[in-house]
Structure 1
């Protein structure tokens, strides 16, 4: 299995940099083409299983941008609540699985409902995860509060079981949400920093990603938050081996 953990593979969600198709920053497309098979069988697993039109549009969008980049496709299927009756063997027939972005707990519950953790564990192809999809790849997922009320809800679960594809936690869209307030609290300084005690987080800006093959490498501007401290660990257009990170 080759895994691309992305923040946003199609450019910044805040529109701060215009991208036509897949984001080529930090050689993302070049790296993806190294592993892409001709006539790949691809499926996208939605984050919002009931948002049928949104899921259809997202599927069409990614199909078109992959073809535009010269990434050939045999099929591009969608898994949401309408198409969730699939087996482990069915999933293994694909060459590429895309884990869509959205609300982390909602996607996580859908993954549990379709038993994705058990079905994907021996997958041999490419996994491309987007935002919430990258967060839900963890063995134990950190759910950074996102919607109003979640930061102050004592019943909101910030730690839930994920897919078990990674042993670390990703937080996406740093450049967009780093100064955000939620429920009267600073999202990072008052919430995430406190949650980082004994829990390191790899924080990505849109355009950066983590590549997992024989090793784990971080590509592009990325940060480490650990024990209420943040530090830059990788610059734009650079890479760092995960093993070189000093988490103390």
Structure 2
């Protein structure tokens, strides 16, 4: 009887598989997930089509720097905001509603919890990012007027640019998740995300030029990843990608440490 009582009262053990399943259920049952991802797809495709429809054939003196692939992926700027904000809300929403206490009661290993959140959300937004990047590319390519050079996935750098743009959205989603874990307050976390991705690059770029601004995520995305031709004074594509991977790892690492050390 003692053995049976002890077994019955023992808490269930949750590993990564159970934690990931729990996070997947929470993610797919949030209405904000569907609407944010749908808006990301629609807005990126729409921006890509409109941009390409208004793209004119380059003059002879600008033909060498003409990069229609960069033009068609212009919607990444808005897509990153939507996906980043959703990443923030996945964490801060639990704090604002108080449901984080129930989550931690079931899964007290906080690092495992954040790992599960990152893997589930990161996997979803990486998939969505790649799908929307290719969808935008083909839709925008079809919208080009006759006589304008059409990019092709077989052209030098084009496939890499499209793939990296999709991966960038995945990393921004994870950065938003990490910022949410660090700050825990929705408005402050979103303000920090917007500041890092939009405000600071513009301010610093206006003061010092690309010397410092080129290291900010949005500048890396627009001038390093989504390009087929080198942009002067900007990071090379693979260098920029490595920097973004480092940023993502650092933000998630700090978020995991603070989540483990602070009270719910």
Give the TM-score normalised by the residue count of structure 1: 0.25
Larger Cα-atom Rg: 2
